[in-house]
Amino acid sequence: MLALACVWVRPLAAQDGPASAPSWADLADLADASQLVVRAEVKKQAELKPERAVGVAPGYTRLYIEAETIALISGSVPVGEKLRYLVDVPLDERGRAPKLRKSEVLLFARAVPSRPGEIQLVARDAQLPWSQQLEDRLRPILVALAAPDAAPAVGGVRDALSVEGNLSGESETQIFLQTATGDPVSMSVVRRPGMRPVWGVSYSEIVDQAVQAPTPQTLGWYRLACFLPQTLPGGANLSTDPAGRAMAARDYAFVIEQLGPCQRTRTPPRG
């Protein structure tokens, strides 16, 4: 048997119902972690013997899968017509492995170096039952991730500073974010007397007050709503007086409220 990397997925039957349908953020998590997104058809499955399936959780079994590529939906590395990978799947009520043969699936994966045709799924639920509706939901996310001006991944808050304006009730808060690439990302919140607070995001070194807030279920929204801490870290607040620190914390809380929750039905993949 091939020494394939192992991942865990739920059985296809358990994923079909609307209650377990992946959210927008779920799909973004999987797509962002993947080198390859492939539509494939399962052609063969073989259950590994227990001695060859070390670490399988109780109630699960490990399958060796051979699949045929139907379409490479997205990929930074080439993929062949034939695919091979391992999955851990729950046993059914009779204690048997589910029958996956002839199922069409979406695979979120990485290539295995020096092993053509072998892939490693990026997460335990990175094999999803294919449907045209699911692919249609996924494609705009993949396009956004591949765009030259794609919003960079955010790792947290670097600095925040709030200053009062010349008029009573006027203030501006600048919040500078950490990014995986080092690219600049900042958020600003402007308050003026008698007006609703206005906030937006800038992706340049120059902070422009004309910036806009990201639309929900876009890559820019996802980078913030799904990865920023819920409260402003005290160490990032550069305001020196109590009033300034309170304004910075208040404006950060306002941004988090405006972004809304990052609705996930799964644990995001790592690495």
According to the model, what pLDDT value does residue 51 have? 86
According to the model, what pLDDT value does residue 145 have? 97
Taking alpha carbons only, the member of 15, 19, 20, 23 closest to residue 226 is: 23
Tokens of 98: 């589910």
According to the model, what pLDDT value does residue 9 have? 42
CA–CA dist 64, 230 (Å, integer): 41
Q: Rounded to whole angstroms, what are the CA distances from 267 to 31, 51, 52, 210?
A: 14, 29, 27, 36
CA–CA dist 124, 220 (Å, integer): 26
What does the DSSP 8-state code read for residue 1?
Answer: -
Indicate the pairing of strand 6-8 with strand 82-90.
parallel
The 3-state DSSP class for residue 17 equals: coil
According to the model, what pLDDT value does residue 3 have? 44
What does the DSSP 8-state code read for residue 35?
Answer: S
Phi, psi angles (nearest 5°) of residue 148: -60, -30
pLDDT in tens, the chain (271 residues): 444 544 444 433 333 333 468 999 999 999 999 999 999 999 999 999 888 888 887 888 888 999 999 999 999 788 889 999 988 888 999 999 989 999 999 999 999 988 889 999 898 778 899 999 999 999 999 999 999 999 999 999 999 999 988 888 889 999 999 998 999 999 999 999 989 999 999 998 776 666 799 999 999 999 999 999 999 999 999 988 999 999 999 999 999 999 999 999 987 766 4
According to the model, what pLDDT value does residue 45 have? 95
Q: Where are the beta strands (DSSP E) in 126-266?
A: 127-129, 154-164, 171-179, 186-191, 198-202
What does the DSSP 8-state code read for residue 73?
Answer: E
The predicted model scores a pTM of 0.86
According to the model, what pLDDT value does residue 79 have? 87
According to the model, what pLDDT value does residue 270 have? 60
Domains and CATH numbers, the chain: 6-146 (2.40.50.120), 154-259 (no CATH)
What does the DSSP 8-state code read for residue 183?
Answer: -
According to the model, what pLDDT value does residue 84 have? 96
